Amino acid sequence: MLAGLALYVLGTDVAAAQAPLSIKDLVATMLAHEDYEEAHKGNYIYLSKERSERTGGHLWTERIAEIGAGKIRMLIAEDNVPLGEPRKTDVMKGLNEIAAHPDVFQKQEEGRKNDEQRANEMLDLLPKAYLFSNARRDGNFLRVDFQPNPKYSPQSMEERVLHGMTGSMLIDPSQARLHELDGRLPEDINIGFGLIATFRAGSTFSTLRNPVPGNEWKTAVIDTDITGRAIFFKTVGKKEHVEHSGFEAIPKDTTVAQAIQMLKR
């Protein structure tokens, strides 16, 4: 059926005039798969390399255990240099504190909002906030362009920024899974006539997803480069690059303490 949809949107089976509805159907199927996986996702340990505000502009290499309680991070290198003492001792002390108080850690994780959540929010916005067009083959994938739907009214400042982006998606048509999403602001976004905040044209957000062991698709790369000025919302502008690799599935019932022991090995 999904392969048929891919042919359908490419116009090989039906008239091109019907293509927009078919693209929408394929995107809806893709989002249904993303929602299902989010609700049934497994636990993993993987390697992360990140340069962001969180890392103070340095390149942090971390081992991460992603379990139901949240993401447990163990810093192992900065700017490609392994940690020395006493910093390594401080990292271990922090992990031991998490193991001793997993309830506190889980509560803190629930309050954090990371760029993977932002990617999920943009996916959630796709069917209602964007219009789709120009489906065409791109290697083994299907590339679909998107642009803001003028009939949609954003519900928050962050939605204003995401809704203002135009770009394209790469979809694996055989599984109806998102492989890549790239969005760019073609013009400035002004909040409160620019008095509250202005987000600059050229700001970008992109994510790359690949299949991993366990028959899931996980985020491999996230790039965020949102620039502008803000009076009350200083942290909205963001520049971040993250790479994830070496995914290893771990048991579904892994506890916080067990995950930490796995990270230390």
User: Is residue 29 located within the same domain as residue 62?
Assistant: no
Instruction: Provide the pLDDT confidence category of residue 6 given band limits of 50, 70 and 90.
Output: very low
User: Is residue 151 located within the same domain as residue 101?
Assistant: no
User: Is residue 202 located within the same domain as residue 217?
Assistant: yes
Note the pTM of the prediction, 2 decimals. 0.81
- Whether residue 185 is contained in a domain is answered as yes
Confidence check: pLDDT of 89 > 80: yes
User: Is residue 121 located within the same domain as residue 162?
Assistant: yes
Report pLDDT digits (tens) over 215-240: 899 999 999 888 776 554 454 567 89
For residue 7, what pLDDT is reported?
41
User: Is residue 140 located within the same domain as residue 91?
Assistant: no
8 Å CB contact between 217 and 35: no
User: Is residue 66 located within the same domain as residue 126?
Assistant: no
Pairwise pLDDT comparison (123 vs 43), residue with the higher score: 43
User: Is residue 142 located within the same domain as residue 236?
Assistant: yes
User: Is residue 64 located within the same domain as residue 134?
Assistant: no
For residue 236, what pLDDT is reported?
52
User: Is residue 212 located within the same domain as residue 122?
Assistant: yes
- Whether residue 258 is contained in a domain is answered as yes
58: left (phi over 0), alpha (psi -120 to 50) or beta: beta
User: Is residue 78 located within the same domain as residue 129?
Assistant: no
Instruction: Provide the pLDDT confidence category of residue 15 given band limits of 50, 70 and 90.
Output: very low
Interval 165-171 mean pLDDT: 94
For residue 195, what pLDDT is reported?
52
Domain of residue 146: give its range: 23-40+114-247
Query: Total domain count for the chain?
Result: 2
